[in-house]
Structure 1
Amino acid sequence: MLADAIRSESYRLLKNRTAVFWSVFFVPVVGLAISIFGFFMVKSKADQLAGKLPPELVLGGPLDLGASLAGNAGDLANPAILAFLLIGAATLYAGDYRWETWRLISARNTRPVLLLGKVGVLKLLTLAAMLVFLLIGSISDVAKGMIFDRPMTFGFGAEQAGEFSLLFLLSFVRVVQFLMISLLAATLTRSLLAALFIPLVVGVGQFFLGQFAPMLGLEPSDWLAQLLMPGLAFETLKTLIKGGMEAAAMPDGMRIKAIVSLAVWTLAPLAGAIAWFGRQDLSKE
């Protein structure tokens, strides 16, 4: 039954090419265009300094595409991807309220399965957006090497592969967690605009909370700070994965605090949406 729900929601979403484009392709394509434009601007300035400074200082040394790929995995939950994936999330979660089609499909499956089918498709959409971002990031790195005439290598051993896998998984969890707020908002308000903007408001509020946290007596290592700010929990886990002096300086127990925070912010909105959706009257939706 869940497989049927996922197949039907996938089919419906793929027919909405506008939502797929803005959710998956817009940010990477625009980012690539801006990066290449910036490379050419820097190259023009570098040509002017070519006779005054050593080439390695002007253009840089060898470019490790493998290390760059691992680094890009940690940037997959950036604000641009989160914001534009909300377009697909709002379309999936609130589209049936907007077009009053719930009463046509709710008799074909159980309500929890219908919602879980939407969540499953959103996860597939998230994976697609992340993979496209990685691909475009690698294309940008190759363009950088060609424009600046830098030699390119690909060092991707076991250590880089492990870091890449953990960062990719962490970014995926962070994106899904953020989009669960959209699911809860869509279910509570039955509004596509609310599903689109409420997560943004929550995200901005958490950002400013992080800025004023020291004034409120909240330290990043506190349980309350980690639980109130899943973005902080994400950054904590990312730092621990990358290691180094900053990770070594963190107090004991930070990993479990961050994991609990992301789990609560992922599962609580999902459970709330399923519970509320089960009580709704869909006779007019």
Structure 2
Amino acid sequence: MELIRKRRSTVVRRNTEIPPWASYMRKANEVAREMWAPPTWERGMSLAGQFTTFCRTHERTMNEESCAALLMGILDVAPSTRPRHARMLRSMLEMNRTPLGMVILGLQKIAARSETKQARPLTKEEMNQVIRSRTDWKERVVVRLAWITASRWSEIASLTPNNFTLEADGTLILDWSVAPKTARADPHRALRFVRIRGQDAFDTIKLCRTLQENEKLTNITNAKVERALAPWDATAYSIERGALRHAAPIVETYNLNPHVVSQLAKHVDPFDLPQNTV
């Protein structure tokens, strides 16, 4: 702010600060960037910049023909990289997203990472305490089943003995035959079947033998689970989040496919054969 004297007796203030519009737009762009992972955004923006400059230089419209010319004309990249750039350019042309749409996607990604939105993940020790706190052995089995399969409670509550098949070697196969809430149509979604071995398989078989064919494994509601987890400052979703966090270092320790964790987080591909083992 600076003072300006007018005539002799009048003093007025003039705001010399830069209008905030530019800072608003900068923040909006930062939010929009959240719609993609940083490496993807950087590659995309670099390619978009080259494409824009190329079209302006040659006074061409930004269309598929110009994409082809750019790919074959000036991009100094390895042959194996060109198809990826081609797909990225095509995606840019077909994206058809407004600036507001991109900001909304970014805001959704930020909100999903917010600790106020996400349930606090239970640790393995806390989960063991929760299981031991259940006086009914059947409840202990189903709570443990939710943990080892990284499932939402609604998924566990919908299971019946029909979802399980006992193999000759004692392995129990859980068949998510009806796609639950976490099912997603993407290349990294989890498999339809889960192999369960050891004590967990034995306990689940024992529970199934006490039930009728179409009887649910448990009648415990989500609300009851929430109340049971309250002493640990956790929610029903904390079971799934805790299991996934616990699985991550195991995948690294045993050099497993990193997609295992994302597959565990989602169920189901109805056409896959059993591969998961818990």
TM-score normalised per structure 2:
0.28
Rg larger in 1 or in 2?
2
TM-score by length of 1: 0.27
Q: Give the structure with the higher percent helix.
A: 1
